[in-house]
Amino acid sequence: IDEFARGVHDGTVRPPTAERFEKLLVIGIGGSVLGPQFVADALGGPDDLLEPWYLDNTDPDGIDRTLTNLGDVLDRTLVTVISKSGSTPETRNGMLEAEAAYRARGLDFGAHAVAITGDGSRLDAYAREAGFLTTFPMWDWVGGRTSEMSAVGLVPAALQGIDVAALLEGAAAMDRATRVHSAHRNPAAMMALAWYHAGDGVGARDMVVLPYKDRLQLFSRYLQQLVMESLGKERDLEGNVVHQGIAVYGNKGSTDQHAYVQQLRDGVANFFVTFVHVLRDREGAGVEVDPGVTSGDYLHGFLLGTREALYENGRASMTLTVEDVSPGTVGKLIALYERAVGLYASQIRINAYHQPGVEAGKKAAAELLDLQASVVDVLRERGERGATVDEVTALVDAPDRIESVFHVLEHLSRTGRGTV
């Protein structure tokens, strides 16, 4: 990773029609992009060696917006396609859309692309056929939501210019701290026990994450997947139905004080708060906005004031205090929550490292696409005779799916394909 990133930065690895790469387009979904986005936003800035952009959904309008914004610099944009299996529909669609955009501009997509995927996967084979610049491996035992410290997170971060060695050193330091066998000296164990206590061991309260730092505003979004996909399980390790999980939401302080903190203090007591306090408020001297008071003083006051206001009303919270938002600190935060999730899962006896609910959603989506193909076949066969929704449903032999047939027809009519 280091060698490839250095080559990109010094122009040794360059696009065919330009001096060097300037932009980075990351194509992925879920854990393949939430971690990279969080790290990029937390640690990036005007000195980024490659400016990151993302295709993280299969929304055509969103894809068009991103590719249009990159249009004039597409010849200088390096693409990283991230998919362990290579068959994830959202990532595959994003790659094919990007490839079409490059082709429309007379550019060789492969000469601008890198794959991060499992060895021997469909994406791995495609990358070799299409002449990608290189591929980086993903281990099949690493799930997307715990992959930020693998090539999934390190390749985009290194290309952006982030110090990935420091990121790893921070995570390694947290590994050492969370292998201590005394719960009171193990931060991940303390956090997992606090979650257990706050939610009565059954996820009875939501986790509200309030980092008082703009650079950490994507932290709660990253934690939503890590915590909810890991802990939201129907069955425990013995196969008993338990319906476990902890819901996560949040944004940043003090923005949230003007949004939902009112409910946190006075409304339904179905949550606990995690404040993230960053000691260093800025690089350089502060600006006084009142005599002897800086913007950072206000931010600190809002954090402490909100904690006290919640405490006075019997609302539980914990506070994580960190020195700064640096690669080492971000590495520690990611590792801390990964370990806490694993320990909490052990307490409630569920498997934190599979996602049967996600797979069920993918299967249902595939069945809908099969249904759409059948609907289109029926309409073609009927021709000018046409058919009502009821008739189409009968002809595709799906009597219990009339609502799905209606929505398929509605979608086809709005996307201008055929007479629907």
List active site positions: 229, 258, 362
Q: Which of 202, 184, 233 is nearest to 347 (CA)?
A: 202
Closest CA to 188 of 323, 346, 334, 343: 343
CA nearest 23: which of 50, 54, 56, 63?
50
Q: CB-based contacts of 12: which residues, under 8 Å, 6+ apart? A: 6
Per DSSP, the three-state class of 300 is helix
Distance between first and last Cα of the chain? 50
Instruction: Say whether 78 sits in a helix, a strand or coil.
Output: strand
User: What is the Cα–Cα distance from 92 to 86, expressed in whole angstroms?
Assistant: 7
Q: Are strands 77-82 and 113-118 parallel, antiparallel or unpaired?
A: parallel
Distance, in Å, from the CA atom of 250 to the CA atom of 210, rounded to the nearest integer, reads 6
For the record, the structure tokens of 175 come out as: 């590994």
| Secondary structure percentages of the chain, helix, strand, coil, to 5 | 55, 15, 35
> Where are any strands of DSSP class E within 179-287?
206-211, 248-250, 271-278
Cα 281 to Cα 213: distance, rounded to the nearest angstrom: 8
Residue with tokens 């595709």: 396
CB 93 within 8 Å of CB 81: no
Taking the C-alpha atoms of residue 202 and residue 242, their distance in angstroms, rounded to an integer, is 8
